[in-house]
């Protein structure tokens, strides 16, 4: 007993330093590669920097221009939020359904697993070309196929109303990564849990809501945060596929920042744009984090209050 | 003891990861080439050309390197993201020494003025270039690049479709009325054939040529949009294009139109020389003809020029100039002849390009377009104006809006 | 687990439905790669190539020094994967299994680093790497991986949070120190998520285009993704080589995935038992 107490003490002293040692690679990396550029971009947001010549201090001008004198800023913000609202739930649900499907013990599931994962592997250049062909209104593959069925397809990328939907369809194609994350989590759930639930007479839906769903909340939380971030920063696809059109209906915030930086060469302004989005994402993340204690269950925080049926000791 | 051992292991792993990273992958990456290696000056040369022409460019560079034992030119190819890379390089004060260039008004502050270098080469050197091209390779009265290639815009037409519809091929000196008449005859909805195709969101830089053709422009001499971009004549041009859509024998394309043209279902579209190679590969039997003229105007084209520039921050300017001279020499012009229209009069003459069925069209257009300067050279904030105009054109041509040209242009002029 | 007939039928229905959506664009890429230039653009679209042009692959591969690019891509991918696995597992372990001062603040900071768009940090990062003399080497693409990436740390932390506390207690009673606990007990438990991270990292590094574009110059240093992009010019693009190289580039990640699958399936539960 005494020995144990002594050990505990020693552990506590080392324990003070140990966690920092574990995270030290990240701290070093942060200081080496991240902090500098981050601070630099913040400082630049108070400058007028046309890239090709020296920056000039302008105080808050970039920010006041953004909020009071640039209608595109609000438009892009609105479009991006609309996209996020459409895309985040859709991708979460789709990837979760897919992950459930590929965890089913049916024949050939391995092949499907690979098929669903495949799109995430294909490089963006080819993907954007293919989507461009598929959705071309006049000479596109999809509308041709529809015309064979006697349907006149929509003007996908020409009509502003359908363009954002098209982007959502095309982005949802790459949910393989999220699916895989869910899948890894689902596969980590002990089969015993399901077996005892089945003995208790729980059906598949019941098993999903009472076992699977609570146990994957940590990755659901992860996917929610990361897909929110990526939806709000979506750039590649619109850059390659629509370039913001038609009629600026897909002029996402990410594209707005990118064009300000590399088309209009206003790097200071672009930095201000980026930092504003940074704050929004940070607040959103904080909000999700705050809410997480109510719906995310971590095994090492559960301790003994919440006993699950059939849990092994 | 046991504990200490574990602890040291922990530190070893951390150190190892630090060490590994410090080496950056243990010798896989060669040390960076600094300015001089073994007494040679390394000149960085960036090109935007895609792979198709890179091997040829590398061969030319190898030739240059062989002839200049003290210079080593290294080719950097960035493809479609060229501008992003160049901007990043300039922002970080590490731009390539020599680079391809076309958008001089935007990049002018980072480029070395070349007037003095050119002056030293004598008058003959400068006079051998087509005069028009100097305007396009300058900004604020200073020459910032030597012309390497150019293209004017022309009408491409699908000969097979013309034959099938029994319509005679267009000839130089034709008018927009002629084009419309032909397009009407060629259009065939049952076989999804379109008479004429133009971009639904044209690049405003290119589109200005149609205004020129009707005797107007985006801006007046002072650089004001008001009264120019929304002049009677400008409205007339856009109304004409919009009417072609409304009457149903023309379509708008989602890109430049070359994809649609390659489908073999579009009878005519307008583009620069870029499409020649790819249309050939796609097996389209096509011809090119000068742009049509407006009833009492003339056929004028914008010039899309490519030049070669030197970075202001370069520390190897002499070697860079040596290479620029080589890259714009007769020999190099001839070597690139398959994909770039030569810019030297002497080469055009010796290669008899004025007799070439296709190429002569581009040279004729160049000569006819001598006295025009694009708005991008006249205004300070072109990239913003271009954005605004682009949206206005889209509103006029997009089927879901089809905005009245007068109203749209009036708004653009505000 | 027993599965009823109905259940099976529904599962297959969904599997096949989704498979069509996911496969069609991909199949079109494959079919396109086998066509002639004329067939590619033909309208009405030709579904199958008249005569499969396998030579397209050879031509595309030969058009640029892709052997060299492959070497560079493999080097970067392998080293970054090793780096991420080592660093992220340590960092995530620290965040998930300990309580310490500033933990929440630091973790928020970690997440925040995911949120700054690269557009505005790219140029300062370029300057910094230039200062280190790393521009035009593979270092900027490899070294940062050894210091962890927020995305993977976060992901791994989520998995580690789900491991019951009793485990450490048991280890401590057995006399293991902190590092031993991490190394002998938690690394095996993390097998599935670490495999996942390896797969995800391989994927993103393999296809990364902007990093190489900005930090590399010399063509001998290029990666496959950069080589692929050079088929795309400002005005015209070369469809056939793009499609061919895209397909060839898919092969290594897919093989890696097929291989990795079983480690993911063996998951946490297997290790705990």
Q: Please answer yes or no on whether C128 and A218 come within 8 Å at the CB atom.
A: no
Q: How confident is the model at residue A10 (pLDDT cuts 50, 70, 90)?
A: low
Q: Please answer yes or no on whether A158 and B400 come within 8 Å at the CB atom.
A: yes
Burial class (CB in 10 A: 0-12, 13-18, 19+), B101: buried
As a whole number of angstroms, the distance between CA C180 and CA C169 comes to 13
The residues with which B156 forms a beta bridge, in sequence order, are B269, B288
State how far the alpha carbon of A177 is from the alpha carbons of A119, A130, A232, A274, in Å.
9, 20, 18, 26
As a whole number of angstroms, the distance between CA B42 and CA B31 comes to 14
* Of residues C137, C233, C235, nearest to B24 (C-beta): C137
Q: Would you state the pLDDT for residue B28?
A: 37
**Minimum distance, in Å, between the CA of residue B49 and any CA atom of chain C:** 6
The verdict on residue A161 lying in a domain is no
- Which residue spans within B58-178 are E strands per DSSP? 71-77, 98-101, 138-139, 142-143, 146-152, 154-158
Question: What does the pLDDT average to over C87-92?
Answer: 96
Whether B227 contacts chain A with CB within 8 A:
no
Q: List chain A residues with CB under 8 Å of C146.
A: 25, 29
Whether A130 contacts chain B with CB within 8 A:
no
**Minimum distance, in Å, between the CA of residue C269 and any CA atom of chain A:** 5
Q: List chain C residues with CB under 8 Å of B24.
A: 134, 137-139, 142-143
- Touching chains, B (3+ CB pairs < 8 A): A, C
Q: Read off the pLDDT of residues A219-266 as tens digits, 9 standing for 90 and up.
A: 999 999 999 999 999 998 888 888 898 999 999 999 999 999 999 999
State how far the alpha carbon of B323 is from the alpha carbons of A54, B72, B130, B317, in Å.
28, 10, 21, 10
Q: How confident is the model at residue B376 (pLDDT cuts 50, 70, 90)?
A: very high
Q: Would you state the pLDDT for residue A7?
A: 62
**Minimum distance, in Å, between the CA of residue C253 and any CA atom of chain A:** 7
Residue B13 has pLDDT above 60, yes or no: no
* Of residues B33, B80, B278, nearest to C232 (C-beta): B80
The first and second tokens of residue B362, run together, are: 């581009």
Q: Would you state the pLDDT for residue A3?
A: 60
Q: Please answer yes or no on whether A134 and C28 come within 8 Å at the CB atom.
A: yes
Which range, of A7-16, A28-37, B129-138, B188-197, averages the lowest pLDDT? A7-16
**Residues of chain B numbered 79-98 and touching chain A (CB < 8 Å):** 83-84, 87, 90-91
Q: Please answer yes or no on whether A11 and C172 come within 8 Å at the CB atom.
A: yes
User: A92 with A227, same domain?
Assistant: yes
User: Chain B residue closest to A157 (CA)?
Assistant: B254
**Residues of chain C numbered 98-117 and touching chain A (CB < 8 Å):** 98-100, 103, 106, 108-117
User: A199 with A248, same domain?
Assistant: yes
Q: Please answer yes or no on whether A158 and B399 come within 8 Å at the CB atom.
A: yes
Counted residue by residue, chain C has a size of 273
Q: Would you state the pLDDT for residue C62?
A: 92
The count of CB pairs under 8 A between chains A and C is: 278
Which range, of A177-181, B315-319, B404-408, C235-239, averages the lowest pLDDT? C235-239
As a whole number of angstroms, the distance between CA A300 and CA A153 comes to 53
The first and second tokens of residue C249, run together, are: 């580039």
* Of residues C91, C114, C267, nearest to A25 (C-beta): C91
Candidates C25, C126, C163, C205: best to mutate against A (most CBs of A within 10 A) is C25
Q: How confident is the model at residue B12 (pLDDT cuts 50, 70, 90)?
A: very low
The H or E element containing residue A56 is strand A56-57
User: A11 with A109, same domain?
Assistant: no
Q: Would you state the pLDDT for residue B8?
A: 47
Q: How confident is the model at residue A202 (pLDDT cuts 50, 70, 90)?
A: confident
The verdict on residue A137 lying in a domain is no
* Three-state DSSP state, A139: coil
Phi/psi at C89 (nearest 5 deg)?
A: -70, -40
Q: Which of C147, C156, C164, C161 is nearest to C191 (CA)?
A: C156
Which range, of A192-201, B171-180, C257-266, averages the lowest pLDDT? C257-266
User: A209 with A71, same domain?
Assistant: yes
Q: Where do the structural domains in chain C lie, given as residue ranges? A: 5-53, 59-272
As a whole number of angstroms, the distance between CA C51 and CA C35 comes to 7
Q: Read off the pLDDT of residues A103-125 as tens digits, 9 standing for 90 and up.
A: 988 888 889 999 999 988 898 88
Q: How confident is the model at residue C165 (pLDDT cuts 50, 70, 90)?
A: confident
Share of chain B above pLDDT 90, in %: 79
User: A75 with A16, same domain?
Assistant: no
Q: List chain B residues with CB under 8 Å of C236.
A: 50, 258, 274-275, 277-278
What residue has token string 């998520």?
C193
User: Chain B residue closest to A10 (CA)?
Assistant: B3
Write down the mean pLDDT value for chain B: 89
User: A37 with A176, same domain?
Assistant: no
As a whole number of angstroms, the distance between CA B219 and CA B196 comes to 28
**Structural domains for chain B:** 9-150+304-343 (3.40.190.10), 154-302+375-412 (3.40.190.10)
Q: Please answer yes or no on whether A247 and B83 come within 8 Å at the CB atom.
A: no
As a whole number of angstroms, the distance between CA A66 and CA C96 comes to 40
Q: Read off the pLDDT of residues B237-281 as tens digits, 9 standing for 90 and up.
A: 999 999 999 999 999 998 888 889 999 999 999 999 999 988 998
pTM of the model: 0.90
User: Chain C residue closest to B17 (CA)?
Assistant: C146
State how far the alpha carbon of C265 is from the alpha carbons of A118, B216, B359, C196, in Å.
18, 69, 63, 11
Is 1.10.3720.10 the CATH classification of the domain at C59-272?
yes
Q: Please answer yes or no on whether A188 and C192 come within 8 Å at the CB atom.
A: yes
Question: What does the pLDDT average to over B299-310?
Answer: 94
User: A91 with A182, same domain?
Assistant: yes
**Minimum distance, in Å, between the CA of residue A82 and any CA atom of chain C:** 19
For helices A176-187 and C150-160, give the axis angle rounded to 10 degrees.
20
Beta pairing class for B98-101 and B303-310: antiparallel
Q: List chain A residues with CB under 8 Å of B400.
A: 155, 158-161, 246-247
Q: How confident is the model at residue A177 (pLDDT cuts 50, 70, 90)?
A: very high
The verdict on residue A3 lying in a domain is yes
The count of CB pairs under 8 A between chains A and B is: 81
Q: Would you state the pLDDT for residue A4?
A: 58
* Of residues B109, B259, B387, nearest to A53 (C-beta): B109
ipTM of the shown complex: 0.91
CATH number of the domain encompassing residue A256: 1.10.3720.10
Q: List chain A residues with CB under 8 Å of C182.
A: 22
* Three-state DSSP state, B190: helix
Q: Please answer yes or no on whether C254 and A114 come within 8 Å at the CB atom.
A: yes
- Give the count of domains, chain A: 2
Query: Would you give the DSSP letter of residue B247?
Result: T
As a whole number of angstroms, the distance between CA A68 and CA A62 comes to 10
User: A1 with A115, same domain?
Assistant: no
* Of residues C115, C225, C257, nearest to A281 (C-beta): C115
User: A1 with A120, same domain?
Assistant: no
State how far the alpha carbon of B243 is from the alpha carbons of A155, B109, B397, B406, C86, in Å.
20, 42, 10, 13, 65
Long-range (24+ apart) CB contacts under 8 A made by B254-260 are: B254/A132, B254/A136, B254/A137, B254/A157, B254/A158, B254/B200, B255/A132, B255/B199, B256/B199, B256/C235, B257/B197, B257/B198, B257/B199, B258/C236, B259/A132, B259/A133, B259/A136, B259/A139, B259/C41, B260/A138, B260/A139, B260/B194, B260/B197
**Minimum distance, in Å, between the CA of residue C94 and any CA atom of chain B:** 13
Q: Please answer yes or no on whether A246 and B394 come within 8 Å at the CB atom.
A: yes
State how far the alpha carbon of A312 is from the alpha carbons of A56, A307, C185, C273, in Å.
66, 10, 19, 10
* Of residues A25, A161, A261, nearest to B17 (C-beta): A25
Q: Would you state the pLDDT for residue B97?
A: 97
Q: Please answer yes or no on whether B256 and C235 come within 8 Å at the CB atom.
A: yes
Whether A310 contacts chain B with CB within 8 A:
no
Q: Which of A270, A178, A169 is nearest to A223 (CA)?
A: A178
User: A75 with A111, same domain?
Assistant: yes
* Of residues C138, C213, C238, nearest to B85 (C-beta): C213
Whether A132 contacts chain B with CB within 8 A:
yes
Q: How confident is the model at residue A17 (pLDDT cuts 50, 70, 90)?
A: confident
Q: Would you state the pLDDT for residue C149?
A: 94
State how far the alpha carbon of A235 is from the alpha carbons of A282, B210, B248, C119, in Å.
19, 33, 35, 10
DSSP string, C2-27: ---HHHHHHHHHHHHHHHHHHHHHHH
**Minimum distance, in Å, between the CA of residue B351 and any CA atom of chain A:** 38
**Residue span of the structural domain in which A37 resides:** 1-44
Q: List chain C residues with CB under 8 Å of A3.
A: none
Q: How confident is the model at residue C271 (pLDDT cuts 50, 70, 90)?
A: very low
Q: How many CB atoms lie within 10 A of CB A13?
A: 9
Phi/psi at B341 (nearest 5 deg)?
A: -75, 125
């Amino acid at each position: 007993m005494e020995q144990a107490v002594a050990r505990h003490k020693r552990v506590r002293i080392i324990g003070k330093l140990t966690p920092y040692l574990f995270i030290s690679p990240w701290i070093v990396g942060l200081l080496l590669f991240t902090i500098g550029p981050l601070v630099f971009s913040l400082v630049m947001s108070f400058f007028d920097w046309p890239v090709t010549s020296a920056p000039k201090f302008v105080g808050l001008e970039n920010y006041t221009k953004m909020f009071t004198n640039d209608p595109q800023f609000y438009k892009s913000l609105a479009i991006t939020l609309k996209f996020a609202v459409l895309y985040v739930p859709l991708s979460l649900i789709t990837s979760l359904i897919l992950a459930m499907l590929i965890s089913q013990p049916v024949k050939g599931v391995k092949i499907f697993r690979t098929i669903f994962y495949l799109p995430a592997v294909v490089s963006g250049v080819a993907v954007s070309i293919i989507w461009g062909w598929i959705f071309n209104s006049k000479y596109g593959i999809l509308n041709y196929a529809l015309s064979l069925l006697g349907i006149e397809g929509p003007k996908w990328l020409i009509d502003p109303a359908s363009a954002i939907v098209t982007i959502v369809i095309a982005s949802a194609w790459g949910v393989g990564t999220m699916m895989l994350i869910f899948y890894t989590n689902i596969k980590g759930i002990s089969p015993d849990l399901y077996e005892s639930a089945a003995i208790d007479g729980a059906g598949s839906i019941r098993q999903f809501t009472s076992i699977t769903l609570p146990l994957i909340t940590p990755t659901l939380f992860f996917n929610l945060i990361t897909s929110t971030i990526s939806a709000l920063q979506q750039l590649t696809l619109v850059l390659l596929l629509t370039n913001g059109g038609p009629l600026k209906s897909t002029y996402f915030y990410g594209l707005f920042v990118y064009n300000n930086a590399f088309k209009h060469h206003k790097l200071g302004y672009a930095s201000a744009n980026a930092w504003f989005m940074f704050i929004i994402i940070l607040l959103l993340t904080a909000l999700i984090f705050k809410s997480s204690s109510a719906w995310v269950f971590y095994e090492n925080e559960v301790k003994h209050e919440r006993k699950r049926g059939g849990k092994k000791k | 003891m046991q504990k200490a051992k574990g602890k040291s292991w922990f530190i070893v792993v951390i150190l190892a990861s630090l060490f590994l990273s410090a080496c950056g992958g243990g010798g896989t990456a060669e040390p960076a080439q600094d300015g001089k290696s073994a007494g040679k000056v390394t000149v960085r040369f960036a090109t935007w050309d895609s792979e198709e022409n890179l091997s040829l460019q590398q061969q030319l560079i190898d030739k240059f390197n062989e002839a200049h034992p003290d210079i080593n030119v290294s080719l950097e190819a960035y493809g479609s993201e060229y501008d992003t890379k160049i901007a990043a390089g300039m922002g970080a004060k590490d731009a390539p020494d020599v680079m391809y260039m076309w958008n001089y008004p935007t990049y002018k502050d980072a480029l070395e003025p070349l007037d003095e270098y050119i002056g030293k080469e004598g008058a003959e050197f400068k006079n051998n270039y087509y005069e028009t091209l100097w305007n396009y390779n300058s900004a604020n009265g200073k020459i910032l690049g030597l012309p390497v290639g150019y293209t004017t815009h022309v009408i491409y037409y699908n000969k097979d479709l013309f034959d099938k519809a029994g319509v005679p091929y267009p000839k130089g000196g034709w008018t927009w009325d002629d084009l419309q008449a032909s397009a009407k005859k060629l259009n065939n909805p049952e076989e999804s054939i379109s008479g004429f195709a133009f971009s639904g969101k044209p690049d405003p830089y290119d589109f200005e040529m149609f205004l020129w053709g009707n005797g107007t422009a985006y801006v007046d001499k002072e650089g004001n949009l008001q009264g120019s971009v929304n002049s009677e004549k400008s409205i007339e041009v856009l109304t004409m294009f919009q009417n072609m859509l409304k009457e149903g024998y023309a379509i708008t394309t989602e890109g430049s139109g070359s994809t649609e043209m390659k489908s073999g279902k579009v009878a005519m579209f307008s583009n620069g020389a870029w499409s020649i190679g790819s249309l050939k590969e796609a097996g389209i039997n096509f011809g090119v003809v000068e742009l049509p003229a407006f009833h009492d105007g003339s056929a004028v084209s914008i010039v899309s020029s490519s030049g070669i520039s030197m970075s202001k921050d370069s520390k190897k300017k002499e070697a860079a100039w040596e290479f620029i001279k080589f890259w714009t020499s007769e020999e190099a012009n001839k070597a690139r002849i398959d994909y770039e229209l030569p810019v030297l009069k002497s080469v055009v003459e010796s290669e008899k390009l004025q007799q070439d069925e296709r190429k002569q069209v581009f040279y004729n257009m160049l000569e006819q377009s001598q006295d025009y300067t694009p708005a991008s050279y006249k205004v300070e904030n072109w990239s913003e104006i271009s954005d605004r105009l682009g949206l206005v054109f889209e509103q006029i041509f997009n089927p879901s809006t089809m905005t009245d040209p007068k109203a749209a242009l009036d708004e653009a002029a505000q | 687990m027993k599965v009823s007939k109905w259940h099976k039928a529904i599962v297959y229905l969904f599997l096949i439905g989704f498979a069509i959506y996911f496969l069609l664009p991909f199949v079109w890429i494959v079919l396109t790669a086998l066509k002639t230039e004329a067939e590619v653009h033909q309208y009405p679209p030709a579904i199958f190539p008249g005569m499969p042009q396998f030579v397209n692959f050879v031509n595309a591969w030969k058009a640029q020094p892709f052997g060299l690019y492959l070497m560079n891509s493999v080097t970067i991918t392998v080293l970054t994967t090793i780096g991420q696995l080592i660093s992220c597992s340590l960092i995530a372990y620290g965040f998930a299994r300990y309580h310490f001062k500033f933990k929440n603040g630091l973790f928020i900071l970690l997440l925040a680093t995911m949120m700054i768009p690269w557009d505005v940090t790219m140029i300062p990062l370029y300057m910094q790497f230039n200062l280190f003399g790393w521009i035009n080497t593979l270092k900027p693409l490899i070294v940062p991986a050894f210091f962890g990436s927020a995305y993977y740390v976060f992901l791994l932390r989520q998995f580690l949070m789900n491991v019951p506390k009793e485990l450490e207690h048991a280890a401590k009673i057995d006399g293991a120190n902190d590092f031993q606990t991490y190394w002998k007990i938690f690394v095996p438990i993390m097998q599935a998520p670490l495999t996942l991270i390896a797969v995800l990292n391989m994927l993103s590094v393999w296809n990364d285009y902007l990093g190489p574009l900005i930090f590399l110059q010399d063509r001998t240093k290029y990666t496959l993704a950069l080589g692929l992009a050079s088929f795309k010019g400002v005005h015209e693009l070369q469809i056939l080589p793009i499609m061919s190289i895209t397909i060839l580039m898919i092969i290594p990640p897919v093989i890696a995935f097929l291989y990795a699958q079983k480690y993911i399936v063996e998951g946490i539960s297997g290790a705990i038992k």
